Structure 1
């Protein structure tokens, strides 16, 4: 019984590794859109972007470990269609298997309009390399987006020296995700490090001079001068290639509680939206990619396991580490469970209907892990 994994990502590689750990010895093929062997994405906006890491250090596994998996990697050839359990690639290949795992991840959103020099998104290793090259010579950088990725890019860019402005529609960074209190502390952090915040106003477009970006146009009429612009307005599941496949596509590949999208077809990672308790859930983080892949591997070999994680993500901005377990929301009641807000070392609980739904730690990693138990036993 062969397996075909579409996506040479963290989720794709983790699926292969989990299968081999469980004793699966049948053929496995991994199809990747990029030429790069599997690499880690979180460092792209931090260690790699600032130049502390080189490309080799972003690799998830060395060649020896990849070879030991005895999987065939077909790289630089993106999938363009799925017909049953046959995958068609851009080069014209047709690959088939008894089981297909979809792990194609996300596609970053872009601003409408013509392509301009100096405008970047950050999703791939090549994206990060191109942005890093521009940041070295930049004088004025505008980051369009006030979510996790936008905040991380703004922090890294600021450390490299240029003037940095963050623009976005929220009143404070990550407000819709972490609420106004934590978002307000993030705003103070960025301002204290020299990031100019132009929040609460939508971005309507870009200005340019001879095809090179020159500014960011805001809905209130202001233009933020820039020689480098990074668009970090989120991403959408990479499912275009699945049109006509017969799979249910709705903000991702819709799956049952076992991450199964159809008979012999599974999904894992950012692209998967699965039945979680009473609703559909899709998570965009590195931890989920690994944990969901392990569940998929178990179900492929017949160990029926529903996927019921405690969601987790982290973000590093300047010297601050924030860790989040569970699903926080802007509407939740936030209370300090440990530490002190003024000292910027604390753990907070997010409560809805009297139940703890999320735990956030700010520079308290050990204590945050302990507070996770409030979610596990909720």
Structure 2
């Protein structure tokens, strides 16, 4: 991230086996100014810094950023070329990596997190990349369990610059400075994208209260195979495939299924708003790692190629984004009253996975001693 006081030119010092080369860096803002036009440069902005190479045949061992072409470097970052080399040999990548922005969870939601992870796995998730500020001890135990199993990467993060990292102050900032909060999140999502470039075909940026549920097919791979079969040029034209959003507020389900423990939150809550959020509002996406240059919470922010479009929308009969919240967001009070709460329906689309999900969650909880 950068602030308005340090926005001068940058140079990349690329260290090869026997020499160091300095080249001008390309700096691109990962943000849209129209989202908060009242900002006058008081906030830290996320940026993508690209270091051009003269040849793709030789990769540097490390890279440093400096304000002057050959100035002293404060930080030397090693270049991990192994995923690229592996992909060049095999031309194979796995399917889906789920990206989760900075977790700040002081309460024990370990059981719900296990249900969420196991549900994502049943749908088609191959891996998880979690960004973590601080979490309850039992939540941390869950994260470590999946990391030890080779299913998750947990990246401990802090806020950059002069933003607070004492947990109570950090949470207060996140509540009162929503535009800075959203900027901070984009660092995590774009780091996840670039970690996944040569490992996975798609990244799926979602929160731990969201589930992207296919309806006509059982899994994400089956849904994507169908979409690509119908339109073979789909991923050449679009950098992401976005799915419409729908709310499951806790009090919509008057009698949650008593046969399941409370940590089966999604299986127990089967009433939702009949009305979806507006087109393009709160949607989440399958983001193509070969089509996206940068990404934000909802879809590819900048496509890699000029002929590509940001997103194409998956029709609601094929998939929906379930959003499980305790109650209506404060900023949507009027819309919830007039729209989401007014018409509700029963949605049992998750019940297809009930037996498998209950077994998987119970097994994991038993292993963890929770």
Provide TM-score, normalisation by structure 1. 0.29
**Greater fraction helix:** 2
TM-score, normalised to structure 2's length?
0.29
